[in-house]
Amino acid sequence: MKYKLTHKTEYKYAEPVNNYHSLLCLTPRILPRQLCRDFTISIEPEPARIIEHIDFYGNTTHYFSLHSPHKTLTVLATSVVERLSETTGDPSEKSVITCEEARLRISEDRPLRVSILEYILPSPLVKWDEEIRDFAKDCFQDGSSLYSCVQALCSKIFTQFDFVPDFSTVNTPIKEVLAARKGVCQDFSHLAISCIRAFGFPARYVSGYLETLPPPGKEKLQGSDASHAWISVFIPDYGWCDFDPTNNVVPGERHIVTAWGRDYSDVTPLKGIIFSYGKHELKVEVDVIPIV
Amino acid sequence: MLTETSVNLLQSYQNGIDSYDEILDVNGRVKPHWQALFSTMEKLGLDELQSRNLEIISKLRENGVTYNVYDGPDGMNRPWQLDPIPFLIEQKEWNVISKGLQQRALLLDLTLRDIYGPRNLVKDAIIPPELVFDNSGFCRPCTDIKLPSSSQLTLYAADMARGPDGRMWVLDNRTQAPSGSGYSLENRVVMSKLIPELADGMYVSKLSPYFNSLQNTVLRLSDKSKDAPNIVYLTPGPSNEAYFEHAYLASYLGYTLAQGDDLMVRNGVVWLKSIDGLQKVDVIIRRIDDDWCDPLELREDSRLGVPGLLQAIRLGNVQVLNPPGSSVLENHSFLAFMDNISLYFLGEKLIMPSVATWWCGQTKEMNYVAEHIDELIIKKANRRSKFRSIYGRLLSQSERADLISMIRLNPREYIAQQEVSLSTTPSLIDGNIVPRYAALRAFLVADEKGYHVMQGGLTRSSPVKDRFVISNQYGGLSKDTWIVSDKTEEVQEKIVLTTPAAVNKHISLPSRSAENLFWVGRYCERTMAVIKFMNITINVLNLDRNFGGSAKQEHIKILLQSLTHLSYTYPGFIEKEELLQDPYSEIIDLVSNSSRPGTIAANIGAFLNSVGAVRNQWDLETWRIVDLIDKGYHELMNASSMNSNNIQKTLEGLHNNMFMFLGIISESMPRDISFFLLETGKLIERIMSKVSVIQSNFGAKNSESVENELIEATLINHHLLVSYRQIYKSHLSIEAMLDLIMLERTHPFSLVYMLDELKNNLGKLPSNMRGERLNEAQKLALEACTLVKLADISALITYDRNLERKELFHLLSEISRLISSVSFTLTNMYFSHTMMQHSFINRMDSDKDEI
């Protein structure tokens, strides 16, 4: 599938902002099954420079700063992204390596361990304890294939949790989400990652977009899509496999990958430091429009 | 007799030794330099040594040398403690130690470059990957942050102690923003001033080459096309425990002391917000920790750093040392792998050993730790965690088992270290020379040839017996550290600065410092104005109480109300009639209540804060006066338990000391922007306070007897009673008084004189106006000045049916208004940097263990 992707973020400030520094992580990655063309960023008011940088995880970031008073800021990122129908994580022959075998491989293959270690360790937003382990215990059977175990976990999260947009913030701890059985894609991804790491397997956080389909027979509404998050698990002998615990699907051609890291804190789409008093309002509009 | 005591001092010290001691060599003989030091101390005598010790204590206090201890009994400012007995290391031994330190620094530098580069140490299995990826000092955004020099680890400090085998061991590494070199320097300065004869017959190596080397390195890093690079010493601010050192080193090295807010990144360049506008910064020596450097890419909640700093470094527009990310080396686990790292990089063994360390993330090591837990100290590998070291031997059997199972749960998070025994060294404790455990911090700086080791260091000894408390936070003694030899064997290398001797020809004044200087002037004058007028009022009150009639007189009421107006402590005497009946409780509150704005205590507090915030501006003489004011301030806080006589004495003492403060400033401070700002603040406050008193004393006409009292009080308030009497003898007239206090050009406390001075001062501040035009502040001052000059005194003293002197009142109100506008305008012109910084994203604390 081919999409026109637009991501518009608008800030409105009560008081003029004189100085602003921002770091964006909005560029779709170029992957074997994902092409990105015509990526542009336009910022209003226009900064003197936008500096591109490749971060530690290979994600593309953009830095800019503003130094004259402004009361609104608009960041618009657009691109044309093509997803091939063959996608990651949906192999024609599913990986059969068991949890037990995977664990052995990870502990004995040193170069492998070095390359995935930071996705096994706790990270700023992903920590775990016995309670989290207990939640996932029935999903991880030593003799079952790791792939199916992760699938079971995602399915468990999908069936037991409610998608409730305003329940959580970026700072809501995983345990709170677990107790309330509700949250958004970011919470479900963090929960899934903490469970997978609790059993010693590497999992990373993927940020991107998902094309939403309108109800049958209806027109798609503008701005109805959203940025999305899911997870990727490293399965020895196979590689990184994506899972979407929010929708209980294997990410396919409707999932567009922007960035990955240990958790959300590594791939925050838009970070900013302002010098001002007063409050601000935020509006985000995302459109993932198929190009026929 | 003399020889007998001589034997006794050394002998009695030796008798007290119950561990291996610095004064003894491996064969148990007293080392020659210690022998010499003891005989010098003998000559001085214990009493003299003790009295010099007291001098040292008071000198350090006067010099304002502090190490702030959080929640300490002395509050924030804890005087630095220096033992008069130095720590001696013989030059030959030091040369060996230096080689070990240089090798260590080189290895750490290679490790740092490798971790933020190819990570071959991990790939080649020299260190476990956890040392990088599970290291809270590993800052992922810093992987492409490099200094344009071969070594990245520019400043390095190592904590060392002597092991039982007589060799020095490395206990710990300081690699991001090492502290202590400034204290070492100040220790040396104080020692050589107050107890110079201790070095008799020895040659003590100098510390200055280290600092010269640092200056050269910084110069090499700066933009070579500029002959006066802008170098900033970045401090977290006055609440940091080592702020004294930051200010001290900044002024010693000739760099601009700045806080994060004083800097800003614009177009990828770091600028200093100075009073002359934005100035490009070339090099930053930072004293803030890695993760606080840039809230955009590191800790979002940091208010100490500079947003965009990492980007500016990446673009090569500024050099920061040590480069952010270097705290990765402070992880304790590295000590366990230094031998292997040395073999890997250099193919040689460590010259100086590390304290034996085990990282629990390895099975074999974990088992060793479990078996030997009673000999070990358990620490978290990541220094940043709040975990306090656990001494295995202090635990019960079950506590040990609990500890081991806690480690086994997350073994990679822990390290264990051999509990090293330290050497003892002679320390002066309660008037006796006794052995105390000591450890030494050594300082290195990268230079063109490798690493330069300071010929000395910071020794810290434990104030308590048989236990070592190394941290200054918990109270410890410092010692000057002498590298000694018989004579100058090698001629001291003459250090020549490669580029202009004055590193910063023009030291920029950050806007924040400018604002603080302005407020130093204002608070100083404000305090003096209230003290002065309060003393006048108390004198009148006392006179009335002792010699006056029974009824409270009208003039006392007016003076008390003027005091309320002057100090802005409403309602005070204005509304509360009962306070007028017994004014003393309100007066005591006005003196001592530091939490009530406008009181003397509150004003002095604010004065001391402003002074402290720009402490690099003051020389020692000034600082000594500040110390006296500080003492008076503490006395005042207890004013409620003092009688009025003592209160007045303390107030007079304070007033004198503040006068002296202003005197030293006017005699010694260079006539630069700092001076003119302080003067401007002082003048603004002085004009406002004098105007306030005239206005409230004479705004309404009173009976002649009452006005005579008020005239006298006002003349004293303007330091003009003597001049007045010389001219008018004992005849008191309001017209003559107003003429004198308002229009007498030759008198420094007349309105016209002060306004003229203010106008002149404003003209000397940097102006963003072109040519000779007046800026807004100058116009306002000129207007006020002209209004006073044009005043017709005979018209001013007239009053209406309601006995109000409307003309006088309005003129004074207008002057007040104009002068406060001057202050407001200056704030907008020079100090408008105090914008709050917000992060869009809510606070996110990655250190919390919350899941």
Instruction: For residue range A180-231, list pLDDT tens digits in order.
Output: 999 999 999 999 999 999 999 999 999 999 988 877 777 776 666 778 999 9
Does pLDDT of A90 surpass 70? no
- Shared-domain flag, residues A135 and A248: yes
Neighboring chain B residues of A197 at a CB cutoff of 8 Å: none
B545 vs B550: CA distance, rounded Å: 8
Q: How many beta carbons lie within 10 A of that of residue B533, not counting itself?
A: 23
pLDDT at B158: 97
- Shared-domain flag, residues A106 and A244: yes
Closest Cα of chain B to A117: distance in Å? Answer: 7
Apex B631 CA angle, B629 and B636, nearest 5: 90
The structural domain count of chain A equals 2
**Which of B362-376, B505-519, B584-598 is least confident?**
B505-519
Selected residue of B299, B841, B846, B847 to mutate for chain A interface (largest A Cβ count, 10 A): B841
Mean per-residue pLDDT, B13-31: 91
Query: How sure is the predictor about B57, in pLDDT bands with cuts at 50, 70 and 90?
Result: confident
The answer to whether the Cα torsion of B249, B251, B252, B253 is positive or negative is: positive
Q: Is the Cβ pair A265, B846 closer than 8 Å?
A: yes
Query: How sure is the predictor about B238, in pLDDT bands with cuts at 50, 70 and 90?
Result: confident
Burial class (CB in 10 A: 0-12, 13-18, 19+), A263: buried
- Shared-domain flag, residues A185 and A137: yes
- Shared-domain flag, residues A107 and A25: no
Closest Cα of chain B to A122: distance in Å? Answer: 8
Q: Which residues pair with B460 in a beta bridge?
A: B439, B478
Instruction: List, in order, residues 6 or more apart from B847 with CB less than 8 Å away.
Output: B136, B384, B385
pLDDT at A95: 75
pLDDT at A94: 67
Mean per-residue pLDDT, A44-70: 95
Residue A203 sits in a domain whose CATH number is 3.10.620.30
Mean per-residue pLDDT, B674-701: 95
**Closest to A13 (Cα-Cα) out of A73, A71, A75, A74:** A71
Closest Cα of chain A to B840: distance in Å? Answer: 5
The tokens for B570 are 């409403």
pLDDT at B499: 43
Closest Cα of chain A to B360: distance in Å? Answer: 16
Q: How many CB pairs under 8 A join A and B?
A: 107
- Does residue B837 belong to the interface with chain A, where contact is any CB pair within 8 Å? yes
Neighboring chain B residues of A271 at a CB cutoff of 8 Å: 296, 300, 839-841
Could you tell me what percentage of chain B is helix, strand and coil, using 3-state DSSP and rounding each to the nearest 5?
Answer: 50, 15, 35
Residue A25 sits in a domain whose CATH number is 2.60.40.2250
* Contact status, residue A75 vs residue A282, Cβ threshold 8 Å: no
Does pLDDT of B506 surpass 80? no
Interface of B with A in 126-155 (CB under 8 A): 129-130, 133-134, 140-141, 143
Q: DSSP code of A47? A: P
B273-308 pLDDT, tens digit per residue, is 888 788 899 999 999 999 999 999 998 888 899 999
Mean per-residue pLDDT, B353-359: 95
**Closest to A84 (Cα-Cα) out of A2, A207, A6, A206:** A2
Does pLDDT of B182 surpass 90? yes
**Which of residues B41 and B471 earns the better pLDDT score?**
B41
- Shared-domain flag, residues A278 and A222: no
Amino acid found at B153 = L
Query: How sure is the predictor about A136, in pLDDT bands with cuts at 50, 70 and 90?
Result: very high
Neighboring chain B residues of A132 at a CB cutoff of 8 Å: 851
pLDDT at B345: 98
A128 vs B721: CA distance, rounded Å: 78
pLDDT at B777: 92
Amino acid found at B47 = D
Q: DSSP code of B347? A: S
Q: Is the Cβ pair A280, B130 closer than 8 Å?
A: no
Closest Cα of chain B to A1: distance in Å? Answer: 34
Q: Which residue of A has its CA nearest to B309?
A: A21
Peptide bond preceding B571 in cis form (omega within 30 of 0): yes
B18 vs B468: CA distance, rounded Å: 15
Main-chain phi, psi angles of B277, to 5 degrees? 105, -170
Does pLDDT of B72 surpass 60? no
Main-chain phi, psi angles of B11, to 5 degrees? -60, -45
- Shared-domain flag, residues A116 and A42: no
H helix intervals, chain A: 99-108, 110-116, 130-137, 146-160, 174-180, 185-198
- Within B235-304, strands assigned E span 256-258, 263-266, 269-274, 277-280, 283-286
B671 vs B667: CA distance, rounded Å: 10
- Shared-domain flag, residues A230 and A105: yes
- Shared-domain flag, residues A28 and A138: no
Neighboring chain A residues of B317 at a CB cutoff of 8 Å: none
- Shared-domain flag, residues A278 and A262: no
* Contact status, residue B755 vs residue B785, Cβ threshold 8 Å: yes
Question: What rounded mean pLDDT belongs to chain A?
Answer: 90
pLDDT at B753: 97
Mean per-residue pLDDT, B206-212: 94
**Closest to A10 (Cα-Cα) out of A92, A99, A74:** A74
Q: Is the Cβ pair B268, A51 closer than 8 Å?
A: yes
pLDDT at B501: 41
Does pLDDT of B322 surpass 90? yes
Radius of gyration of chain A (CA): 20
Question: What rounded mean pLDDT belongs to chain B?
Answer: 88
**Which of residues B9 and B226 earns the better pLDDT score?**
B9
Query: How sure is the predictor about A91, in pLDDT bands with cuts at 50, 70 and 90?
Result: low
Q: Is the Cβ pair A171, B849 closer than 8 Å?
A: no
Selected residue of B302, B838, B842 to mutate for chain A interface (largest A Cβ count, 10 A): B838
- Shared-domain flag, residues A119 and A238: yes
Of B133, B264, B841, the CB nearest to A19: B264
A141-153 pLDDT, tens digit per residue, is 999 999 999 999 9
The tokens for B218 are 């910084």
Neighboring chain A residues of B844 at a CB cutoff of 8 Å: 124-125, 170-171, 265
- Shared-domain flag, residues A183 and A140: yes
The tokens for B465 are 């017996």
Could you tell me the residue range of the domain that residue A22 belongs to? 2-84+268-291
Q: Is the Cβ pair B840, A280 closer than 8 Å?
A: yes
- Does residue B308 belong to the interface with chain A, where contact is any CB pair within 8 Å? yes
Q: How many beta carbons lie within 10 A of that of residue B79, not counting itself?
A: 16
A160-179 pLDDT, tens digit per residue, is 999 888 888 777 889 999 99
Mean per-residue pLDDT, B180-195: 93
pLDDT at B497: 42
Q: How many beta carbons lie within 10 A of that of residue B367, not counting itself?
A: 13
Query: How sure is the predictor about B421, in pLDDT bands with cuts at 50, 70 and 90?
Result: confident
Neighboring chain B residues of A266 at a CB cutoff of 8 Å: 140
Burial class (CB in 10 A: 0-12, 13-18, 19+), A218: exposed
- Shared-domain flag, residues A225 and A97: yes
Of B133, B308, B843, the CB nearest to A65: B308
A164 vs B674: CA distance, rounded Å: 58
* Cut 0.95: pTM above it: no
